[in-house]
Amino acid sequence: MVGTTLDDIRQYVESIADESGEYALVCARTGDQPVPSIGLRFETRSCARAAAHATEQYRATLRRYDPQVPYYDVIATQIDSSTVSHGSSRFTSSEESMIDFCHTVAGALFEAIAASGYGLMEAAIMDTYFHLAETTASPDTLCVHLIESMATEIEVGLDEPAQLELLQSAANRLPEQSADGDPLEATLKRLQSVAAVGEYTLKRCPDGTSMSWFVTVEEYAFSESDERVITLPITLDLLRQPSCRILSIPAVERMVNDSTWRLTVTAALTDSPEGLVCASGGGQ
């Protein structure tokens, strides 16, 4: 039995996956890999078909929360050597869009919120989102608003340690990212690939004891105003990486007359994590 919750369905799809399998799931029209089967492979076509059915069930369930979730014609396709990245069992799909990125983030968060029993928070997020959906024509903009509404409700409803626990739970529901290279740069490249970030600069803080960075980002999609930025997508993507299970964004600043934010990000152990979902700061 697959189950009826997002968490149940995702676990079922992952349980029948096989790293050495010859099949993957894609949309017949676009070639995109659909959530929650991104990066997964399956040993037989019958397993892949079962996963395709479960993936469609997952997306139908997610559509209860977000009616804008795209409809995909999910099919099983056999993978040849040219479609598998070197040294990895991950299937290489076409580029992910902003909409897909936001739905991946939202799906993991909704799963974590439901598993944590925050029913009132879930209802509040959806009330805000449906109100925005009535006045927002652009699907990309609406997806950004969905992430912003989730961040706001998490900020209001939970203290920072509880926020970190919830985000860690959501991150555990996403495919783990490679530990190779600088984790924050990997996150920024991913955000850049979906047009959530323009140009960026990154500098490791010279503290010698922990992973901390000074970072600037231009044209960040999740900035609500000149003094407020939604840090949730950065935090959640960083927490997917094994080296970043503790996180804090203690400082953020909007540069005057510019589309640039300056942030301080740290993965140091702390009893008081800051700026995990939202952060505010003045101009220079």
Residues 189, 109 share a domain:
yes
Instruction: Report pLDDT for 82.
Output: 44
Q: Is residue 67 part of a domain?
A: yes
Asked whether residue 60 is assigned to any structural domain, the reply reads: yes
Query: Does 99 fall in a domain?
Result: no
Question: Are 87 and 115 contained in the same domain?
Answer: no
The total of structural domains in the chain comes to: 2
**Tokens found for residue 283:** 């101009």
Rg (CA), the chain: 19
Task: Establish if 248 belongs to a structural domain.
Answer: yes
Q: pLDDT tens digits for 56-82?
A: 998 888 787 777 777 888 999 998 644
- Do 68 and 193 sit in the same domain of this protein? no
Query: Is the pLDDT reported for residue 89 higher than 70?
Result: no
Residue range(s) defining the domain that contains residue 152: 104-280
Is there a domain that residue 1 lies in?
no
Do residues 257 and 218 both lie within one domain? yes
CA distances to 90, 151, 192, 233 from 230, rounded to whole Å, are: 30, 7, 16, 7
Q: Looking at the domain assignment, is residue 229 inside a domain?
A: yes
Structure tokens at 88: 């990895």
Regarding whether 217 and 195 lie in a shared domain, the answer is: yes
pTM attached to this predicted model: 0.73
Residues 125 and 232 in one domain: yes
Residue 268 and residue 137 share a domain: yes
Q: Which of 45, 65, 94 finishes a domain? A: 94
Tell me which residue of 37, 145, 59, 54 sits closest to 107, measured CA to CA.
59
- In the chain, which ranges are E strands? 23-27, 74-78, 200-204, 212-218, 223-225, 228-230, 248-254, 260-266, 278-280
Is residue 151 predicted with pLDDT exceeding 80? Answer: yes
18 assigned to some structural domain: yes
Average pLDDT score over residue span 98-124: 86
Q: Who contacts 98 (Cβ-Cβ below 8 Å, separation ≥6)?
A: 140, 143, 144, 194, 195, 196, 221
Please say which residue of 73, 94, 115 terminates a domain: 94
What is the DSSP pairing of strand 248-254 with strand 260-266?
A: antiparallel
Q: How far apart are the C-alpha atoms of 32 and 239, rounded to whole Å? A: 24
Helices (H) and strands (E) in the chain, counts: 8, 9
